[in-house]
Structure formats: structure tokens, C-alpha cells
Chain A
């Protein structure tokens, strides 16, 4: 394995006050690929256990049908669709950090964007499972795909559900391609310091990258173009997800604010998940010098910004329900706050609308423990938000007088949800141990080059 990192002499430059050298960056990041210790294996073991619980529940569901998951009139979209929206939302901050902040030339993104991108790819992979679980007869999944079948029947392109399929499919493909593209120079860097079987693995996966001027000449602009394509894609995907609801006429769904509200919420939860993942990773892999408090503070600022938008959206939802005056809309929001699921409604309000106000304080933003705790509450809150919007508003449709007892999620719901967390964390943990989870080439861009900045000729 690579030799332990050596720290360079202090750089004599005015720009970023750092003791890092190119060599230190390469060796520290290559060092994350070794043996990460017991904590890592304990986490991986828990993830696999959760996944096993999810698989067992899913097998029961396949045998006995969706009634096992508490599906009953009128709640036919419930925990599975909640999990779908939650995981798609988690995926959003990845492309925000890797593509949008790349276009804005934010230097700090270099240290955290790989984690965010990996999170994106695995979160979309997790999200994609839920529509399949939700359709009940998983063996007919290919009916979703527009292909010429024997009945000459095509999907309905006016339905937001088919838009969603195109949006999620494109998002998964483009974010995977973007992740792999960013990885190639970094895999080449770890290939050149690795030994044994890893060297062979990286030699194949680096696709012959050597950092020649011809390679960089095509790579850099192409990276920019894909970032430019991915930027509107991020905003479109969660808008389309929100239209799955907003295009319907259920009270509290049929709102024009849904697209920006969902996009802000997605980035809010995604940035929180990046913090949740980065805090233990930084500790296990000793990345304290590369991922600093400054990076956490900037992530916290993104959470603060999007949290304020979410808070505004909540206020506007209640206000418009009252101000516009339709009885079903007013009743739906009364149900959200004071109905039998008041606890879910208030968890969502407290975690998403009140908690981010703490981040106005610089003391909180620079306290990593506080950020870690807040990030977990944000994720609980954002899951609850989707649960409230999807399941609770269906259960509480006030114009259906036969609805008496509403809806209750069952053990199958919770088991499969836990399984999705296991699935996501298993892939994430396997990735960070085997591929560079921090960009080697891009972190170096933020350092003063050896020999100083050359005069531009």
C-alpha cells in the first residue's frame, strides 16, 4: 500500500494558507483505500443487516401483496413513494455541488464534491427501486418502457409519471457518467502509487489516463459541457417529481409552488446528507487537513439558504390555503396541523422550518458535532415532509366522507425503508474504501503550484 503521507514545508504564498503539497494530497487520498479499521466494518455490517431485513420484508410483500404495506382506500401512495421522493431529493445536492458550483467556480467544492456525487448516484439507484416495489407486480416493470409491444400500445406522454421516468433515467445516466468522468484522472493518480491487485484494478479503470496535454485539452471543456447540461437537469428532475403530485387534483398537492419548493427541499436534505456522510468519513480516513471546517461551514450555508426557502414555502402553503379559501384546501391544512397525524406535520415543521435558523450563528456553522446532529434532524424532517405530503394528505382527503380511520404504515413499510438505507450505505461504504472519495486532481487546483504561478505568456 502507499507510504504514509509526508507533510510539505509551509508554502510561502499569500493565497490559501495551507501546508498541503501535491504529494501530501495524493498520498492522503490514496491512503483512504487501505484498511479503514473496525469502525468501518461495523458500519458496513449494520448496512448489510438492514439490507437483509429489507429483502426479507420485500419477499413477504411479493408473496402476500401490497395490502401488507397498509395500502387501503384512499391511500395508495404511501411509504414507498415517500422513500422514492426522499432518495431522489437526497441525490440532488450531489449534482448541485459538482456541476452548479463548478460553473460558479467555487473552489471549496473540490474537497467535497466526490462524496456528494457518489451519494447522488447511489441515492438515485435506491430511489429507482421504490417505483418498482410500489407497482406490486415487479415482473411487469418493462411495461414502463416505451417499446413496440404486441398491442401497439404506447405510454401516455401527457402523464407526469412518464416524464418522471425519463427524468430519473436521464439523471441517473448523466450523474453516473459525470462521476466516472471525474474519477478517471484520480484513479490514474492512485494507480501510480498503488501496489498489488489494486494496481491492476486501477490500471483498467483509469482507461489509460496519463494527464497528457491532449487528454486535458478534450477533458476540460467536455467536463464543462456536461456540467452545463447537468445544471438545468438537476432543477428539472425534482420539478418533474413534484409534478407527479402537483398535476393531480388532491388538496395540498395541486399547487404551483411545488416545483421550486421541492427543488429547495431536495438540496436542503441532500446537503444535510453530505454532512452526515462526511463527518464519520473524515474521521475514519483522517482527511482533516483536506476536508476542513471551512467546507462544513459552506455546506451549512447552503443548508441555511435552502432551509429558508423551505420555511418560506411552508408559510406560503398555509397562507394560500387560508387566503384562497377553497374548503378542501383549508381542511387539508387543518388536517396536517391538527389531524391524527399532527406529530408528523409538526416534526416536519420543527426540523425543516425552525431548525435551520440555528445556522445563522457562525458558532453553530463551525461546530462539526452540532452540524452532524442538525443534519440528521434535517433528514428526519425531510422524510417526514414527503410522508405528510404524500400519505397524510391522501389519508385525510376531506371530500371523501367514508374515510374514518385514515391510514397506518406497517412493519413491511418500515422494514423496506430500513432496507433502502442499508442498500444505500452498503454501496457508499464499498465505494469509499475502493475508489478515491476525494478528488485528487481538483484538490490540487486549489493549492499553489510548485515553483509558483508562472507568468502568463
Chain B
């Protein structure tokens, strides 16, 4: 009996059937995205070697939830900074020159540093988790190494009986290559 490997289950989800198109031009890619959306496709993935606003606008995706991770991490960091500096001061009180034991102004430095530290680290966690979840949802899809160099790509998840229409649509948008995967 073969046991399931949990790491494989997370990082290598089952393959998804579909059509992969390779584009050499940005405007053609944007056009293909527009036509796919007009034809009612929602399950497609766009590859690009760099972030371009044209692609973001054409895809019109919802705002990434990572910002909530940053906000919550930052607030939590600030709270932790406040807590450790005040708690540790009162836990072993050292009275110097009649000054306040838990004095806020010097502790602002600690609060600020902890805000930045936790904000940055939770942002990273946020990206990793969101990207991992998206990849789980997509399944293992076709890829071409040129997509990190100078080509743009569109992968449309489609069952074999519907792949023909998708291929025709992508070819009509001046895709350099279209293949089933």
C-alpha cells in the first residue's frame, strides 16, 4: 500500500489538464486575457517575467489580502514592544533619580522596532501562505522556462473536449505557440 506523502500533497498538487499558449508580445497577451474573460473563462493563469500594470489591469484581480497580514503583524509587534519594555521594567524596578520606572518616550524606540520587525515577517508569511493556497487551487499546471526570460504565457484549465475552442481563441490572439498540456 502506498502512503500519501504530506509534503507531496502540499507542494505537488495533482496535474490540471488544459491549454498552454506562449506569447512574445505584451499587447497580444493582454488581448488574450480580455477575450478569455469575455468568453467566460475564470480558471486561467498568466505567466510573465516581470510585473506589468497592463496585465494587472486586464486581469482586474481583487486586492491581495497580504496587506491585512502587514497591518495585524505591525499592530501585534507594537503591542509586544510595549509589553516587554513595560513588563520588564516593573518586574525588576530600578529607581534612578526619581524618574518614572515605566517611561514611555524611551520605549517608543522598542515599540517602533518591534512594529517593523513583526510587520515585515508577517508580510512574508502572508505572501507564502497566499501563494501556496493559490498553487494548491490551480493544481500542477504546464509551464515553460521561457516565461521567466522574455515570453509571456497563458494557461487555460480546460477538459479535453473543450480544449479545441480554447486553442482556437488563443491562436486568434497571435500566440506564438499553443499546445495541450
Contacts and interface: CB of A to CB of B under 8 A. Distances in A.
Interface of A: 21-23, 26, 146, 152-158, 162-163, 166-167, 169-170, 173-174, 177-178, 181, 185, 188-189, 191-193, 208-222, 225-226, 229-230, 232-233, 236, 240, 440-442, 444-445, 449-457
B121 A218 contact: no
B72 interface: no
Nearest to A442: B50
A211 B66 contact: no
Minimum-distance CB pairs A-B, first 5: A451-B25, A22-B150, A192-B145, A154-B88, A214-B134
Contacts of B113: 163, 166-167, 169-170, 233, 236
A441 B126 contact: no
Contacts of A216: 48, 51, 55-56
Contact of B51 (A22, A152, A220): A220
20 contacts: A22-B150, A163-B106, A166-B110, A192-B147, A192-B149, A213-B45, A214-B134, A216-B56, A218-B126, A218-B130, A222-B127, A225-B70, A226-B120, A236-B112, A440-B49, A442-B50, A445-B51, A449-B52, A454-B58, A456-B54
B172 to A, nearest CB: 16
Nearest to A444: B50
Contact of A211 (B48, B91, B130): B48
B138 A214 contact: yes
Given A210-B47, A210-B147, A449-B26, A215 B131 contact: yes
A225 B119 contact: yes
Nearest to A152: B92
A451 B24 contact: yes
Given A154-B91, A444-B49, A225 B117 contact: no
Given A449-B52, A457-B58, 7 more contacts: A166-B109, A166-B113, A170-B117, A188-B148, A213-B46, A445-B51, A457-B57
A174 B58 contact: no
Contacts of A233: 113, 116
Interface residues of B, number: 69
Interface string B44-83: 0111111111111111010110110010001000000000
Contacts of B57: 456-457
Interface stretch (B1-9, B14-22, B27-35, B156-164): B27-35
Contacts of B53: 456
Given A157-B85, A226-B120, A226-B123, A219 B51 contact: yes
A457 B127 contact: no
Nearest to B107: A157
Nearest to A190: B148
A217 B64 contact: yes
A222 B112 CA distance: 19
A32 B131 CA distance: 30
A22 B107 contact: no
A210 B24 CA distance: 17
A14 to B, nearest CB: 17
Contacts of A445: 50-52
A429 B53 CA distance: 35
Contact of A212 (B31, B46, B63, B114): B46
Given A177-B120, A210-B148, A457-B57, A240 B109 contact: yes
A229 B146 contact: no
A211 to B, nearest CB: 5
Nearest to A162: B110
A442 B49 CA distance: 10
B103 interface: yes
Interface of B: 11, 24-31, 34, 45-59, 61, 63-64, 66-67, 70, 74, 84-85, 88-89, 91-92, 94, 96, 103, 106-107, 109-110, 112-114, 116-117, 119-121, 123-124, 126-127, 130-131, 134-135, 138, 143, 145-150
A451 B28 CA distance: 8
A213 B61 contact: yes
A359 B103 CA distance: 46
B149 A22 contact: yes
A219 B61 CA distance: 13
Contacts of A181: 124, 127
Contacts of A158: 96, 103, 106
Contacts of B25: 449-452
Contact of B67 (A225, A240, A449): A225
B38 to A, nearest CB: 11
Nearest to B86: A157
A230 B123 CA distance: 12
A211 B85 CA distance: 42
A95 to B, nearest CB: 11
Nearest to A167: B113
Contact of B116 (A22, A210, A213, A229): A229
Contacts of A26: 49, 148-150
Contact of B121 (A153, A173, A209, A450): A173
A189 B27 CA distance: 22
A219 B127 contact: yes
Given A166-B114, A167-B113, A229-B119, A221 B67 contact: yes
Given A210-B148, A217-B64, A456-B57, A22 B49 contact: yes
Contacts of B74: 229
Contacts of B30: 454-455, 457
